[in-house]
Structure 1
């Protein structure tokens, strides 16, 4: 009887691991583009203000990854199942809880790391003298100091483009 229980537990652990991997891959596919050439669907057909200016500084930055419930939940499920295979009785219950907590923390870290993106902060002096810094995903534009660029503004969104 114990042999069947460990086979079932092993099968359940593999199934949970596969589910967690599928969820992690799904999270990485949800990351949206934040570069100067990426628009959300809702931004189509909106009027946007265009201003021109000169690049004063450019520096590389990191855009943190997404933090949804998917990573922690998948990690907690895998960790809890893995922990349930340790010991018996109260020890097994404690290992299950510890596994779930550790798995949840690890799942959150994996999700955030997998969706992290390189970014760029572009400081632009507008024609009216105002200086703005815009952070966006590094889309390979390679802005240069002294280059003339356009800032495209919409309700709360600003992007730098050529």
Structure 2
């Protein structure tokens, strides 16, 4: 049994699982609710979409976990290459490359396409809601604006 190969496979599996978990952490979708948001009454307003602007929603936390996990994985993989000083260099290069790749993956996982939706409510107020671009919205669409007790607001058709 090749213990180095088994260790590498284990570390790669851990990294892949961590990246998948990070990718699914946050959502600003009009179709996704957290468990805490269920079974709560929401205020419903109706209105007409005035304008829709495409935007990018980026996670507010800097990529840390992906870089750390990638660095450890890269270092472990690099340590299996060469001997002596060559192995040391491969470990350092592997750690740096892994950290860069892991941070980039985490950054991409925390970035989503979104809409900035301007809505003229039937009450006469105008509001702006930013959410994921998961449901097409166009000027002139009649929409419902749902506001939860925690202040979370989403637009649905």
TM-score higher than 0.5: yes
Q: Which residue of 2 aligns with 1:13?
A: 8
Instruction: Tell which structure's C-alpha radius of gyration is larger.
Output: 1
Q: Which residue of 1 aligns with 2:97?
A: 102
TM-score, reference length from structure 1: 0.74
Across the two proteins, how many residue pairs are aligned to each other?
155
Q: Which residue of 2 aligns with 1:72?
A: 67
Q: Which residue of 2 aligns with 1:132?
A: 127
Q: How does 1:75-94 map to 2 (within 5 A)?
A: 75-89=70-84, 92-94=87-89
Aligned residue for 1:35, secondary structure, equals coil
Please report how far the alpha carbon of residue 35 of structure 1 lies from its aligned counterpart in structure 2 after TM superposition.
1.9
Quote the RMSD (CA, aligned, Å): 2.9
Between the aligned partners of 2:80 and 2:137, the Cα distance in structure 1 is 54
* Match of residue 22, structure 1, among 6, 17, 26: 17
Structure 1 residue runs of 5 or longer lacking an equivalent are none
Aligned residue for 2:18, secondary structure, equals helix
Between the aligned partners of 1:50 and 1:150, the Cα distance in structure 2 is 6
1:39 partnered with 2:63: no
The structure richer in helix per residue is 1
Please report how far the alpha carbon of residue 123 of structure 1 lies from its aligned counterpart in structure 2 after TM superposition.
0.9
Between the aligned partners of 1:22 and 1:44, the Cα distance in structure 2 is 27
Tell me the alpha carbon deviations over residues 27-79 of structure 1, each in whole angstroms, 9 at most, x when there is no partner.
33x24442223221111233322222221101222323586654223211221
Q: Which moved more, 1:17-26 or 1:149-158?
A: 17-26
Between the aligned partners of 1:39 and 1:51, the Cα distance in structure 2 is 18
* Match of residue 139, structure 2, among 141, 145, 150: 145
* Match of residue 55, structure 2, among 38, 53, 61: 61
